Amino acid sequence: MSQLITVGGIPLHPLIVHAVVVLVPLTALGAVLMALMPRFSRRFGPLVALGAFVSIGSAVLAKEAGEQLAEIKDVTADHLRWGDQAPLWVGLFGLAVIVFWFFDRGIPASRKRPVWLRVASVGVIALSVIATLFVLAAGHSGAEAVWASLIK
């Protein structure tokens, strides 16, 4: 059993999941705008890429902290399943955004994106939706597990 990481006596997991639940959808919105609007990508691409990088780290940290918490507190199978898969999809999404931005940033405003990058933008949009759905499902199942019995 590993040492439970806490901040001010509160387990890290419920704190860090808030970063994931905010950052991933926000970064996904930015990624969709980058994919659809080259001008947005040129202006805000570095910020969206940074959001993707931090999203990956926070999703992995949330999973690790959640596994520590699960050793001392029962967790629903539903939350475990979504929580196990969310970092994978956030990681794929984040890497796709960073790679997309890396190649897109060098294209002058006077030129169109190459066909392969336009095709890649469809993948970025798809991964944006998938990662957001997995994060929302994990977050919802976790919140339901914690709060449902207290509200009813």
pLDDT in tens, 33-57: 999 999 999 999 999 999 999 999 9
Point out which residues pair with 7 in neighbouring strands: 10
pLDDT of 60 above 60: yes
What sign does the CA torsion over 134, 137, 140, 143 have? negative
Is residue 11 within a helix (H) or strand (E), and if so which, with residue range?
strand 10-11
pLDDT at 74: 79
Model confidence at 146, pLDDT cuts 50, 70, 90, reads confident
Domain boundaries, the chain: 6-151
Residue 20 structure tokens: 């994931």
